Structure 1
Amino acid sequence: MSSNSPSSPLRVLVVIASSRPGRLAPAVAEWFVETTRRETERERMVVDVVDLGALALPFLDELEHPSTGVYAHEHTRAWSRRVADADAFVVVTPEYNYGMPAVLKNALDYLYEEWAWKPVAFVSYGNTSAGTRSVQMTKQVVTTLRMMPIGATVALRIGDSIEDGRVSERPMLGRAARQVVVELARVARALRPLHLAPATDGTTPGPVDGLSLSRVGEGDDVSELLVLQRSCWVEEAHANDTLDLAPLHETLADVQAWAKTWTVWAVRRHGRLVGAVRARAVGSTWEIGRLMVAPDQAGNGIGSWLLAVAEQHAPEEATTVALFTGKRSRRNIALYERAGFHLTAAPTTPDDAVLLTKSVAATTLA
């Protein structure tokens, strides 16, 4: 996830979307980054470049559907973290047989939530059509992933714009590239609240419409919280093949008791309680727990959003963020790993659970 602060610099991922030997894409990407450097600095953008040829993702090899966020392979988790960290994208792509390169389609298909609610610009190149047919094909895919293609583009005809393997310095191309950056920044800032965690409590834009975030008082929301908790932990019971889970057996008095000793955030959607998370300081550790989202709201990004809310409230003296989940809770583990947590060995961890930790410094930069 990109920075939790709406005022932090925008993070732009420039994607080199070709792996063919002798490709022009790296030279085109280098030209774009250098030509727009002044504009990216003015717009407070941090530019990261990823070369899909060097990234070398295998042909999609995950068993679970990308929308689940359950990733078995480290190459997928690493790609997920990089994409999730971005606020916007620039795709530098050639055109192959009226379409996009297979390596680009594969990279897009690996993920789902990580792309959502972010703008994407295109810098294309080719012969007769200057790569524009590749862009049109790619737009169909990215809009399905809930991305927003911007209107400004750069289209380079190889015969007119490439000399000795490099982009020719032409004023018209430079103006087009700079316009891409200006428009991308404007749209990225408008969309940012849809994929960032809120900075304060209260009614706040979130990953879906109608969300309202508030802290839970001793007597507030507790009955609903108990019902939500039990409905959420049924799936955990199935995943871990046990009913011996505390959240399934706690009474109203139990929930009232821990609500007094933990900071608890509840999120409502159009008035209905759909999620919650709790956190507390234990020495220098900020402990997060009971992250829950109503089963019918799963997959909308609310869990990641709530996790970020809890992380951002870590006290200054905290050095580590920690949480536990079931050993077989693959979806939970995948969500936490996408957020930068790592499985950590600890002698006090229950036999049926795993501990995941993250440094507070990583949380601040995440």
Structure 2
Amino acid sequence: MSTKPLRVVVLTCSTRPGAIGPAVANWLVRTVAPHAESLHVELQHVSLRDLDLPFFDEEDHPALGAYRNAHTKAWSKIVDEADGFIAVTPEYNYGMPATLKNALDYLSHEWAWKPMGFVSYGNTSAGTRSVQHAKQVITTLRLVPLGSTIALRLKDTIDSAAVRPSAHLTASANGLLEELVGLAHALKPMREAARPGIDAGPLPGSYTRPLTLDDAPHVLVLQRCCWVDEALSNETLDLAPFTETLEDVRTWLTEWETIGLWLHGRLIGMVRARRTSQTGHIGRLAVVPDLSGRGIGRWLLRHAANSLASSCDRIELSTGSRSTKNLHLYTSEGFVQRTEDREGTVELVKRS
């Protein structure tokens, strides 16, 4: 399991003094909090009244991300760090409140590929027309609306400015959160690929990003499946990628700069690099077996070598003496065999 919880923002949309919205949002947060903990979710309650956004006042289009105002930067940070949203909204004249529309319009890429659920409230329609109006807007921002919604008719659910507790509403609230969490996990690869500054990989739809401690389980699986050929070629199972524990992987992830290559949420390749003095080191070059032979390993090797070239006099790596495919790749990229030890490990070096 990831060590980082999903962050779900519960957004109170009404800014009217005396509005029932804060009470509805507080009920929602209290109700789902125990279930959120079991789902590894961090709830963040944000009120548009407290945020106090003026009507959109940035000079540049939000798609540029060139924000000048402190209130925009603060709002951008909240949305960017969130994995999903639940909007608690009233209905004003068959539509969503202007405060919600304004908050949506402030930003662009920060919203992309994140789920949004709704808890609406009102009289005759229980706020459902507000939700339908909002869904037309949020899909343009590449937010993904949930199928589940909660609609509270005030006369049936509110007593003394508070939501009347019921088993039905509790089940509905927990169900809404479950659907949002499932969709947030499913959309994570698309969120990552859409983030500014992400580098495209060698295959269509693939991208690279630095691997973190949260990726250790993926790394453990990848290296175990990728070192089977190495074990067979060199007739040994005494290889670190086979024997390392999850904690071992987490340890070296903090010591190396490791780049992962991702495709549709799957870690399909990786390579690690680091520098000691004027010598660069490359290791754990891995590509999933079903995508071998497509130039991915060479691409990752060059990516790592290029990252070291400007700061190192030479770059070193190693492989098994019988790993003919590896040796062919490395020598074709300019690496020269330097030594071979008794265990059959070949050291190769390339001058930068």
Q: TM-score range by the shorter chain?
A: 0.5 to 0.7
Aligned to 1:14: 10
Residues 20-31 of structure 1 correspond to what in structure 2 (within 5 A)? 20-31=16-27
- The 2-side partners of 1:35 and 1:88 are apart by 18
2:104 is the counterpart of 1:83:
no
> Aligned match of 1:125 in 101, 121, 124?
121
2:80 is the counterpart of 1:94:
no
> Aligned match of 1:159 in 140, 155, 158?
155
Contact 1:6 1:192 in 2 (8 A): no
Give the deviation of 1:210 after TM superposition. Answer: 1.1
Cα distance 1:195–1:164, how it changes in 2: closer, same or farther (>3 A)? same
Cα distance 1:197–1:156, how it changes in 2: closer, same or farther (>3 A)? same
Contact 1:95 1:134 in 2 (8 A): yes
Paired residue type of 1:170: S
Aligned to 2:282: none
- The 1-side partners of 2:158 and 2:131 are apart by 19
Give the deviation of 1:211 after TM superposition. Answer: 2.4
> Aligned match of 1:34 in 24, 30, 34?
30
- The 1-side partners of 2:42 and 2:64 are apart by 29
Give the deviation of 1:214 after TM superposition. Answer: 8.7
Give the deviation of 1:196 after TM superposition. Answer: 3.1
Aligned to 1:189: 185
> Aligned match of 1:210 in 184, 196, 205?
205
Q: Deviations over 1:144-189 (max 9, x none)?
A: 0001111111110000000100000122111111100111111111
**Sequence identity (%):** 49
> Aligned match of 2:131 in 102, 117, 135?
135
- The 2-side partners of 1:100 and 1:42 are apart by 32
Paired residue type of 1:213: T
Give the deviation of 1:113 after TM superposition. Answer: 0.2
Give the deviation of 1:264 after TM superposition. Answer: 11
- The 2-side partners of 1:157 and 1:109 are apart by 28
TM-score, L = length of structure 1: 0.55
Paired residue type of 2:16: R
Cα distance 1:100–1:281, how it changes in 2: closer, same or farther (>3 A)? farther
Q: Secondary structure at the match of 2:85?
A: strand
Give the deviation of 1:28 after TM superposition. Answer: 0.1
Q: Deviations over 1:227-271 (max 9, x none)?
A: xxxxxxxxxxxxxxxxxxxxxxxxxxxxxxxxxxxx8979999xx
Give the deviation of 1:212 after TM superposition. Answer: 3.8
Paired residue type of 1:95: E
- The 2-side partners of 1:119 and 1:62 are apart by 26
Contact 2:15 2:48 in 1 (8 A): yes
Aligned to 1:45: 41
Q: Deviations over 1:100-146 (max 9, x none)?
A: 00000000000000000100000000000000000000001110000
Cα RMSD, aligned residues only: 3.3
Contact 1:214 1:265 in 2 (8 A): yes
Q: Secondary structure at the match of 2:4?
A: coil
Cα distance 1:155–1:26, how it changes in 2: closer, same or farther (>3 A)? same
Cα distance 1:210–1:116, how it changes in 2: closer, same or farther (>3 A)? same
- The 1-side partners of 2:207 and 2:66 are apart by 27
Give the deviation of 1:38 after TM superposition. Answer: 1.5
Contact 2:33 2:43 in 1 (8 A): no
Paired residue type of 1:189: H
Contact 2:7 2:81 in 1 (8 A): yes
Q: Deviations over 1:307-343 (max 9, x none)?
A: xxx9xx9xxxxxxxxxxxxxxxxxxxxxxxxxxxxxx
TM-score, L = length of structure 2: 0.57
Q: Secondary structure at the match of 2:22?
A: helix
Q: Secondary structure at the match of 1:31?
A: helix
